[in-house]
Structure 1
Amino acid sequence: MFGFGRSATFLLLALLAEIAGTVGGFGSSVFFVPVANFYFDFHSVLGITALFHLSSNLSKLGLFRGGIDRGLLLRLGVPSVAFSVLGGMASAWVLTQWLEATLAVFLLGLSAWMLLRPRWRLAATTRSAVLGGALSGGMAGLVGTGGAVRGVTLAAFDLRKDVFIATSAAIDMGIDLGRTVVYARNGYIHGHDLVWIPLLAVVAIAGTWLGKRILARMPQAMFRRAALVMVFGIGLVTLYQALRA
């Protein structure tokens, strides 16, 4: 554990990541992974993120009871889980600096594209679902976050907000279970880091609850744009860290 001030700051940032991820529809990892990278080595971040996300997705499934689109769960979820396992395995063979640089480029590229082309949508086809699932799962396994890609893919199918979040959480749950096993085998989950998991579970529940309340009051498009600007800024900081290393 860190000192009290540093620990409190980390948990506050994790809470903000969960709120932003819930409201923006990206999932908390797009914010949490770069933040946690300031506190832990990158492989530890992957392990902690997977465990944190399990609590996050259980919270979403409990609070957003609008139902799950089972067709998308199959078409998008199966390739997501399969490629998250492959991405997790590949992470053991890639240098940490390259993983951080890949994360930075991914965040910068996706956020810039979505800011410049806010009306752009994928075609609502099975091919889009499968390809989006494979890419989001692969990125989640390799660098810890792929929720933004999954969000873009799900947006093509014009789901209600509660169905969108519940379906995304169900897919993410499968991804997290798959990559947690791989990360454990790779040695990314350390005993001294597990003390954070109960605290982060509380953060996940509180952040999801607060995100749901904000989502009911704030136009999602407005928050989504602000979230994308934050993602772009995080990408710049992460790229600076990777280049300096």
Structure 2
Amino acid sequence: MDYFLLFIILALAAEILGTVGGFGSSLFFVPIASFFLDFHSVLGITAIFHVSSNLTKIAFFRKGLDKNLMIWVGTPAILFVIIGAYFSNLFNSKILEIILACFLIITSLTFLFFKQIILKPTIKNSVLGGIFSGLIAGLIGTGGAIRGITLTSFGLTIETFIATSAFIDLGVDLSRSIVYYNNGFVHKHDLYLIPFLLIASILGTFIGKKLLNYISENRFKSIVLILILITGVITFLKLTIFSN
């Protein structure tokens, strides 16, 4: 199969899983894209792709927005994603990829085996969740799992969860896109991918929303976590064993 077509199909799959699982597509898209592009290019293209992805989610789920959570989680996330994005230019890209792989493995295993883990729905935890998710998103390209943990503690409906997360993520992605551009991560020769990724984000969100009507949220999230684990393991092996 042509690598370009495979890349777009996998981006579509990442968008579908990100919509239904509630983590956001970047959790899947970043490690997938790292097989096709260098890691700094992945950070740049992911931020731009995610802007269109979140605009699509907002269009589909806009009625569910929780404005208070958008402020308490979103504001610190936007501030700290700028810090994380700035420091991403100071680290070796392979180190960041290994951090990403370990992050995916630890996150998936934690929530597969310790499903009882929840955060108390407090303003303090909202702010801390926003800080950590923003910092991680800036450094390694994805902080959706941490933001998801934070929002889940408030017992939100699926529509409210996705809409609020998408609004926060939009601010995060717009902010880090600017920093990544200044860091030289957005390359002109990669921009041809944007229209195709835009189509993938719209179609993937549409399919994901339809699937939410037929699939148990808890059951599907277990499947999503397993896929995250597999993605993390493959990424780690690629960097540590197969690169030698």
Bin for the TM-score computed over the shorter chain: over 0.9
Q: Percent identity?
A: 46
Question: How large is the Cα RMSD of the aligned pairs?
Answer: 0.9
1:94-142 alpha-carbon deviations (Å, 9 max, x no partner): 0111101110111111111000111221111111111111111111110
1:174 paired to 2:150: no
Q: Which residue of 2 aligns with 1:221?
A: 218
- State the one-letter code of the partner of 1:9: L
> What is the CA–CA distance in structure 2 between the aligned matches of 1:80 and 1:238, rounded to whole Å?
26
> What is the aligned counterpart of 1:163 among 150, 160, 163?
160
> What is the CA–CA distance in structure 1 between the aligned matches of 2:89 and 2:150, rounded to whole Å?
28
- State the one-letter code of the partner of 2:105: L
1:189 paired to 2:186: yes
> What is the CA–CA distance in structure 2 between the aligned matches of 1:221 and 1:71, rounded to whole Å?
26
Equivalences, count: 242
Question: Which aligned pairs between 1:42-81 and structure 2 lie closer than 5 A?
Answer: 42-81=39-78
Q: Which residue of 2 aligns with 1:122?
A: 119
1:119-171 alpha-carbon deviations (Å, 9 max, x no partner): 22111111111111111111111000010111111000011111110000000
- The list of structure 1 runs, each at least 4 consecutive aligned residues, that deviate by more than 3 angstroms after superposition, is none
> What is the CA–CA distance in structure 1 between the aligned matches of 2:211 and 2:63, rounded to whole Å?
17
* Residue 67 of structure 1, CA deviation: 2.8
1:132 and 1:149 in contact (8 A); partners too: yes
1:38 paired to 2:54: no
Local SS of the residue matching 1:151: helix
Stretches of structure 2 lacking an aligned partner (at least 5 in a row):
none
Q: Which residue of 2 aligns with 1:138?
A: 135
1:183 and 1:189 in contact (8 A); partners too: yes
Q: Which residue of 2 aligns with 1:26?
A: 23
Q: TM-score, normalised by structure 1?
A: 0.97
> What is the CA–CA distance in structure 2 between the aligned matches of 1:84 and 1:126, rounded to whole Å?
19
1:59 and 1:205 in contact (8 A); partners too: yes
